A = this chain, B = another copy of it.
Amino acid sequence: MLATGPVRDGVPEHGRVPKYYAVKARLLALLPELGEGTPLPPERELAADYGVSRATVRQAISELVLEGRLSAHQGRGTFVAQPKLIHPLDLVSYTEAVRAMGREPGRRLVTSEELTPDGELAESLHIGADEKVIHLERVLLTDGEPTGLESTYLPSRRFPTLLDVFDPTESLYRCLQDDLGVVFAEADEQIETALASPREAQLLGTNPALPMLLLHRVSYDADGAPIERVRTLYRGDRIGFATKLRG
């Protein structure tokens, strides 16, 4: 299990334990014996069994869903979730990363357009505010399941033929390197937690309150010229990252 090193008991040294947390702990204790994919009893049943209101059960379940331990689907029920996938945090494409995990990568194009960048975007791509930017937005799939939503912005002037040669269900990195001769030398990457908008949640097939890992990257070639700016939302309940630090 991902990063489950030693933890302290969750109960505060002082102060009371909220009811919903007690319910959460009881549900958590069920998971190992239930196993991946197993349905939990319905919320109304759990509320009756545990002698609390449904709202209290919902709060407990909500936290376990946020943590990626449960998976809730309106109309179907709540299930024990799969373990998180660990992606490498480095200059490889999503395709390569997923393949390295023995999983099947995929992508679904949402948006393909040319637009006028705002000041910040123009600045990070070192282009003028009057130049155009190619915007590609794709849902990232692992074994057919949406795990991320990626928005890539590239300078139109630098890649005038991109939309002609690029197949949006394939790796953009591969296309840039093999078809357009781009060399990725380095990238600046930022990571933070974020929530998805209802639109993003819909595209990812999740609830809007699910915390995401928001990755924000600007890639550069060997001359230090920006290649792309990428904003990627990964489902925090499904994805983690790993990297090796060197002194």
Q: Interface on A for B, CB 8 Å cutoff?
A: 2-15, 17-18, 21, 62-63, 66-68, 84, 86, 89-91, 111, 117-118, 120-121, 124, 135, 137, 151, 153, 183-195, 197-200, 202, 208-209, 211-214, 216-217, 229, 231, 236-237, 239-247
Contact = CB atoms under 8 A, between A and B. Distances in A.
A65 B137 CA distance: 27
A26 B235 CA distance: 26
Given A10-B199, A89-B245, A245-B89, A193 B216 contact: no
Contacts of A86: 190
B216 A3 contact: yes
A2 B215 CA distance: 11
B247 A214 contact: no
Given A186-B244, A198-B12, A247-B184, A121 B5 contact: yes
A190 B3 CA distance: 7
Contacts of A212: 193
